[in-house]
Structures are given as C-alpha cells and as structure tokens.
C-alpha cells in the first residue's frame, strides 16, 4: 500500500457517501494550494487530469 492510499481510504471512509460539485472540489483544491504552495504543481496536474477526457493527450513538462 502506498502512503497516498491511506489518505484516499480515509477520504472514502469519512466522505464517501457525500455528493460534491466540481465547484466545491475546485474551491478545496485552491484552498489546499494556498496552504501548501510547494504542492501547487501536483494540484495543477491533478486538476488538469480530472478536467480532461481520458482520450485527451496530456503533455507534462
């Protein structure tokens, strides 16, 4: 198990029954980036990955 799996499992356990909007998720990602700017690039990549259809080619720098 990867360390990120624990966080994903906690998210699913705590909030798995909730329904959220994309606007809510975007707001939370912005808040996270403001608190932890060192992870801004990872948040940007994650948001781009979520936003694009899985058939789109994403070119990472």
Q: If you write DSSP's letter for every residue of the chain in order, what string do you get? A: --HHHHHHHHHHHHHTT----HHHHHHHHHHHHHH-GGGHHHHHHHHHHHHS-TTS-----
Question: Which residues are within 8 A (CB) of 29 and not within 5 positions of it... i.e. 6 or more apart?
Answer: 43, 46, 47
Confidence of residue 58 (pLDDT cuts 50, 70, 90): low
Q: How far apart are CA 19 and CA 41, in angstroms?
A: 26
Instruction: Specify the pLDDT at position 52.
Output: 87
- Are 33 and 43 in contact by the 8 Å Cβ rule? The answer is yes
Instruction: Specify the pLDDT at position 32.
Output: 97
Whether 60 shows a pLDDT value over 70: the answer reads no
Q: Over the stretch 2-51, which tens digit does the pLDDT of each residue have?
A: 666 898 899 999 999 999 999 999 999 999 999 999 999 999 999 998 98
Whether 57 shows a pLDDT value over 70: the answer reads no
């Amino acid at each position: 198990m990867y360390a990120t799996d624990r966080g994903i499992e906690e998210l699913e356990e705590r909030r798995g029954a909730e329904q959220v909007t994309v606007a809510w998720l975007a707001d939370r990602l912005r808040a996270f980036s403001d608190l932890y700017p060192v992870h801004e690039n990872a948040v940007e990549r994650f948001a781009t990955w979520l936003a694009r259809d899985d058939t789109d080619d994403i070119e990472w720098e």
